[in-house]
């Protein structure tokens, strides 16, 4: 058992904490050293146990006793051939058999599910409302690829007239990936509004100079847009979007504490609230981040997970919508469009979407959004066989995507974002845009299936490896145990275990003495 504990502790998740020292040292120096201390203690216990095991087995062999079956017999068959057991031996055997039966009975269901021998069904009941479709989109309506890339991957222009008409017909929202925005960018918005008068859009912003520059970036953008709203040139701007990942959003690049970065975000939200009042309607604020830390504060009241992630994304809790990147599909295999799933490396299933939304909806029930992707890769692949177990629909990448949207409606997600609207070459693969991948009727088919005529219910199936949230919360548990209160708790449990063992041994000795 000590050996198993050593392997478990070091690999999941102790080893991760040790390897991530560079990014964790600002707030988790205590955790780092506690992990090492625990690893050393377990390692020493393992070595001591190994020495005792060798000595005990050597002693048993010297006395011609069975190493595996213990000192009562010299081989397994002697269990059936030897004379009757003593009363004490009978009681010991009975207790052992009872304990094994109880443990197996209590754990067989959990172990079967953990090792994917049994997949419990989970009922999905989409709620009755019209979900809005959103897209991660190139910022300019005349955006294109360089000629070499277009020829290499046989790409067409991202937005032709048919695509623009479809976007407008279905009144979609677009997250336009400007990164930085100035008054010179306004004509791009005017072009979108002229071509698609029924859509809305957010501006995606990135503080390329670091998080400390964020307020200035936001102010520049809002001050550039609002005068054009006031004079009637623009009227479809919905708000701002932040793709919170990477160095620009890392608090330890510009700040010495996590709380300092949160204070900066509070100043941004204060500014947005004031401008919303001035504008006469809210400026939408969308947080696009990882799903794993969505339950951080709700789980135990602190921000350990976000500190480990290094990017404040769910603190402060003032966002209009949290749209985590639930990318259960990714490019792999044959380039550029991938190849069928390999049995030794199965693709994630719809349970991952369910698992992430379950955590997010539990923590932020009124702010739930999502990014689904990557379109036309692996489990969303248009031309790839789809082996995932289903109870409704067809075994296709498009139906996998539609089932995941229906899971979103089960949790009341008002806006579902598809990643991507356009083809995006990366690492010699092509992440497929929805229209070029699934057809120009993509939105018609999607809307008919998930909004107009959705199924009343269907089942998806549990898979342990798709529980992305559980492992992250386990890390949070370790962070807490590495704080003074957690260390005190662990020491108290160790002392209690030692005292309990002493008391049990004394009671057993007294009972044997009475006999």
Both 369 and 282 in one domain: the answer is yes
Q: What is the pLDDT of residue 275?
A: 98
Please identify which residue in the block is written with the tokens 């890769």.
Answer: 377
Q: What is the pLDDT of residue 161?
A: 96
Please report the pLDDT score of residue 277 as a whole number: 98
Give the CA distances from residue 515 to residues 61, 88, 94, 95, 294, in Å, rounded to whole numbers and listed in that order: 31, 11, 20, 19, 60
Q: What is the Cα–Cα distance from 464 to 351, expressed in whole angstroms?
A: 9
pLDDT tens-place string over residues 220-262: 999 999 999 999 999 999 999 999 999 999 998 889 899 999 9
CA gap 419, 404 in Å, rounded:
13
Over residues 338-380, the pLDDT tens digits come to 999 999 999 999 999 999 999 999 889 999 999 999 999 999 9
Query: What ranges in 196-325 are assigned the alpha helix state H?
Result: 214-230, 251-254, 258-279, 296-300, 304-309
| CA–CA separation, 269 and 218 (whole Å) | 10
Are 67 and 202 found together in one domain?
Answer: no
* pLDDT > 90? residue 299: no
Shared-domain flag, residues 57 and 192: no
158 and 288, same domain (yes or no): yes
Q: At what angle do helices 350-363 and 468-481 cross, to 10 degrees?
A: 50
Q: What is the CATH classification number for the domain harbouring 334?
A: 3.20.20.80
Residues paired with 460 in a beta bridge: 122
**Stretch 130-137: mean pLDDT, rounded?**
98
Separation between Cα atoms, residue 244 and residue 261, nearest integer Å: 13
Q: Does 478 reside within a domain?
A: no
* Residue that finishes a domain, picked among 119, 151, 179: 119
- Residue 279 and residue 150 in one domain: yes
How many whole angstroms separate alpha carbon 109 and alpha carbon 88?
Answer: 33
Same domain, 437 and 500: no
Domain closes at, from 119, 149, 179: 119
6 token code pair: 């050593």
Least confident of 17-31, 152-166, 183-197, 471-485: 17-31
Instruction: Give the Cα separation of 374 and 371 in Å (integer).
Output: 9
* pTM given for the model: 0.83
Range(s) of the domain holding residue 506: 483-515
Q: Which residue has the higher pLDDT, 311 or 130?
A: 130
Element (H, E) at 458: strand 458-461
Q: Is the alpha carbon torsion for 316, 317, 319, 322 positive or negative?
A: positive
Same domain for 175 and 255, yes or no, is: yes
pLDDT at residue 321, rounded to an integer: 97
Say yes or no: 424 and 308 in one domain. Answer: yes
Region 113-128 average pLDDT: 87
Q: Does residue 287 lie in a domain region?
A: yes
Are the C-beta atoms of 171 and 198 separated by less than 8 Å? yes
What does the pLDDT look like over 54-107, one tens digit per residue? 887 787 777 766 655 556 556 656 666 655 667 777 777 788 788 888 877 777
Q: Would you say 473 and 425 are in contact if contact means Cβ atoms under 8 Å apart?
A: no
If asked whether residues 87 and 195 sit together in one domain, one would say: no
- Residue at 477 is within a domain: no
The CA distance from 118 to 479, in Å, is 32
Mean pLDDT estimate for the chain: 87
313 within some domain: yes
Asked, for residue 474, whether it belongs to a domain, the answer is no
Whole-number Å distance between alpha carbons of 287 and 369? 9
Q: Residue 241 burial (CB < 10 Å; 0-12/13-18/19+)?
A: buried
Residues 251 and 176 in one domain: yes
Nearest to 286 by CA among 209, 177, 185: 177
Overall residue count recorded for the chain in this entry: 515
Distance set, CA 509 to CA 86, 349, 364, 444, 503 (Å): 19, 55, 56, 78, 10
Residue 143 lies in a domain: yes
Q: What DSSP string describes 30-93?
A: HHHHHHHHHHHHHHHHHHHHHHHHHHHHHHHHHTT-BTTTBTT-SSTTHHHHS-PPPHHHHHHH
DSSP states of 415-426:
EEEEE-SS-EEE
Q: Rounded to the nearest 5°, which phi and psi values hold at 287?
A: -105, 115
On whether both 378 and 315 belong to a single domain, the answer is yes
pLDDT at residue 53 greater than cutoff 60 = yes
Task: Give the pLDDT band of residue 115 (cuts 50, 70, 90).
Answer: confident
**For 106-261, where are the E strands, in sequence order?**
121-124, 132-137, 173-179, 200-205, 237-243
Residues 111 and 130 grouped into a single domain: no
Distance CA 382, CA 340 (A): 11
* Closest C-alpha among 244, 235, 202 to residue 221: 202
Q: What is the pLDDT of residues 386-420, one digit of tens each?
A: 999 999 999 999 999 999 999 999 999 999 999 99
Instruction: Tell whether 283 is covered by a domain.
Output: yes
Does residue 474 register a pLDDT over 80?
no
Domain final residue, candidates 94, 119, 144: 119
Q: Higher confidence at residue 98 or residue 457?
A: 457
Could you give the CA distance from residue 324 to residue 370 in angstroms, rounded to a whole number? 5
Q: Could you give the angle at which helices 468-481 and 484-514 cross, rounded to 10 degrees?
A: 90
User: Pairing relation of β-strands 458-461 and 121-124?
Assistant: antiparallel
pLDDT score, position 509: 79
Whether residue 61 is contained in a domain is answered as yes
Full DSSP string of 98-117:
HHHHHHHHHHHHHHHHHTTS
State the pairing for strand pair 415-419/429-431. Answer: unpaired
User: In the Cβ-directed half-sphere of 48, how many Cα atoms lie within 13 Å?
Assistant: 7
> What percentage of the chain exceeds 90 in pLDDT?
57
Given this model, what pLDDT does residue 62 score?
A: 77
Q: What is the pLDDT of residue 23?
A: 52
| Domains: count for the chain | 3
Which residue bears the tokens 């992707």?
Answer: 373
347, 466 Cβ separation under 8 angstroms: no
Backbone φ and ψ for 420, nearest 5 degrees, come out as -145, 165
Count of other CB atoms within 10 angstroms of residue 343: 7
């Amino acid at each position: 058992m000590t050996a198993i504990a050593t392997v478990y502790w070091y690999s999941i998740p102790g080893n991760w904490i040790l390897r991530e020292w560079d990014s964790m040292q600002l707030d988790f120096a205590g955790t780092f050293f506690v992990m090492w201390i625990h690893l050393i203690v377990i390692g020493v216990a393992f070595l001591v146990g190994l020495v005792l095991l060798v000595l005990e087995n050597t002693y048993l062999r010297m006395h011609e006793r069975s190493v595996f079956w213990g000192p009562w017999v010299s081989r397994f068959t002697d269990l059936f051939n030897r004379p009757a057991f003593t009363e004490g031996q009978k009681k010991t055997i009975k207790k052992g058999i009872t304990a094994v039966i109880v443990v197996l009975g209590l754990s067989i269901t959990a172990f079967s599910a953990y090792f994917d021998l049994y997949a419990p069904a989970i009922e999905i009941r989409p709620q009755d409302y019209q979900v809005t479709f959103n897209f991660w989109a190139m910022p300019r309506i005349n955006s294109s690829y360089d000629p070499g890339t277009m020829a290499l991957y046989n790409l067409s222009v991202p937005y032709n007239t048919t695509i623009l008409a479809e976007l407008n017909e279905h009144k979609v929202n677009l997250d336009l990936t400007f990164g930085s925005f100035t008054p010179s960018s306004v004509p791009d918005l005017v072009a979108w509004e002229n071509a698609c008068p029924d859509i809305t859009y957010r501006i995606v912003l990135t503080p390329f100079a670091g998080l400390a520059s964020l307020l200035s970036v936001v102010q520049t953008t809002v001050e550039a847009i609002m005068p054009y709203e006031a004079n009637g040139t623009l009227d479809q701007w919905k708000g701002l979007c932040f793709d919170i990942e990477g160095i620009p959003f890392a608090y330890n690049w510009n700040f010495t504490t996590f709380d300092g970065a949160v204070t900066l975000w509070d100043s941004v939200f204060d500014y947005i609230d004031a401008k919303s009042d001035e504008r006469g309607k809210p400026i939408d604020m969308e947080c696009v981040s990882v799903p794993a830390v969505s339950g951080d504060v709700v789980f135990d009241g602190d921000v350990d997970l976000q500190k480990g992630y290094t990017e404040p994304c769910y603190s402060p809790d003032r966002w209009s919508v949290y749209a985590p990147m639930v990318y259960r599909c990714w490019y792999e295999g044959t380039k550029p469009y991938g190849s069928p799933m390999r049995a030794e490396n199965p693709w994630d299933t719809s349970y991952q979407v369910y698992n992430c939304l379950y955590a997010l909806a539990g923590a932020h029930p009124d702010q739930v959004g999502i990014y689904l992707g990557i379109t036309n890769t692996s489990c969303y692949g248009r031309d790839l066989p789809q082996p995932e177990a289903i109870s409704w629909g067809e075994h296709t990448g498009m139906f996998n995507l539609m089932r995941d949207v229906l899971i979103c409606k089960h949790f009341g997600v008002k806006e579902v974002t598809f990643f991507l609207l356009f083809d995006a070459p990366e690492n010699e693969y092509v992440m497929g845009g929805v229209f070029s991948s699934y057809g120009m009727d993509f939105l018609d088919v999607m809307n008919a299936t998930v909004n107009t005529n959705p199924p009343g219910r269907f089942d998806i199936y549990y898979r342990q490896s798709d529980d992305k949230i559980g492992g992250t919360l386990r890390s949070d548990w370790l962070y807490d145990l590495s704080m003074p209160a957690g260390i005190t708790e662990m020491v108290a449990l160790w002392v209690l275990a030692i005292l309990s063992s002493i008391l049990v041994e004394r009671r057993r000795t007294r009972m044997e003495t009475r006999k």
